[in-house]
Structure 1
Amino acid sequence: MLGLSQQQLASMIGVTYQQAHKYERGLNRISAGRLFEIAMVLAVPVSWFFEGLQEDGESQPLGMRQRMCLELARNFAQITNEKHQEALSQMARALAAQSQGRPVD
């Protein structure tokens, strides 16, 4: 979502690209300390990694809406022109207001 490559994330948390890849694919477990470091680098609470887990530890697959939100966030992060980002943000705000029957600010 932040537009980071595995190499960039690996560098930020002090591991090799290969290790970061193993973490992402679930081949290696992540210690609590490392998970905390990753959360700090990504500026999210540790609990973010557990969202969507059920009581039995099984995860729910991402729904289509969640996938679209992730894709939108990734694409937005890749826009380098601040005016374009602001225009897209205003358009999303206007569409959201319209779908809820509110006037656009």
Structure 2
Amino acid sequence: MKEEPHAVDVHVGKTIRIQRLLRKVSQTELGDRVGVTFQQIQKYEKGSNRVSASMLVEIAGALNVDVRTFFDDLSTPVTANDNPAPSEEFVISREGVLLNAAFFSIKNEALRKKILKLVQAIAHTEQVDGEAAE
């Protein structure tokens, strides 16, 4: 019987995925940069295979990030049974990462605020419409 991945391994894997997607690097390309297959990168990102300290340093170098990046937000204890909220799942999804990167690439802060208000207005309208349909 296979053991569940440790929550820290899952967190590190998700962070690798986020950093890779933000840099528009494929799993194959990252694997080539660090000398492993894309399947191994997939396993690291899922947390099903632990990333050794030396490999984590290699991945950090390949993605041009500080190795400490992979441990950000780990100041609170985590357990293997911590289930991410749907919003957290979206943030780490491909679409969430790409949306976030695109949004923050908009240099005009006033325009970003207008986009945020637009999205909030659309979400509110959908909530009101959904309640009316019930």
TM-score, normalised on structure 1?
0.61
Aligned residue type for 1:23: Y
Higher relative contact order (CA 8 A, sep 6+): 2
Aligned to 2:109: 93
Which letter maps to 2:31? Answer: A
Distance change in 2, residues 1:39/1:56 (3 Å): same
Aligned CA RMSD, in angstroms, stands at 3.1
Structure 2 unaligned residues grouped into runs of 5+: 1-21, 115-134
Q: Deviations over 1:14-64 (max 9, x none)?
A: 101111111111111111000011111111111111111133245794785
1:45-60 matched pairs, under 5 angstroms: 45-58=66-79
Counterpart residue identity of residue 97, structure 2: L
Greater helix proportion = 2
Q: 2:98 aligns with which of 48, 71, 80?
A: 71
In structure 1, list runs of 5 or more residues that go unmatched.
77-87, 99-105
Q: After the TM superposition, which segments of 4 or more aligned residues of structure 1 sit over 2 Å from their partners?
A: 57-74, 92-98
Map 1:27-38 → 2, pairs under 5 A: 27-38=48-59
Q: How does 1:9-48 map to 2 (within 5 A)?
A: 9-48=30-69
Alignment size in residue pairs:
86
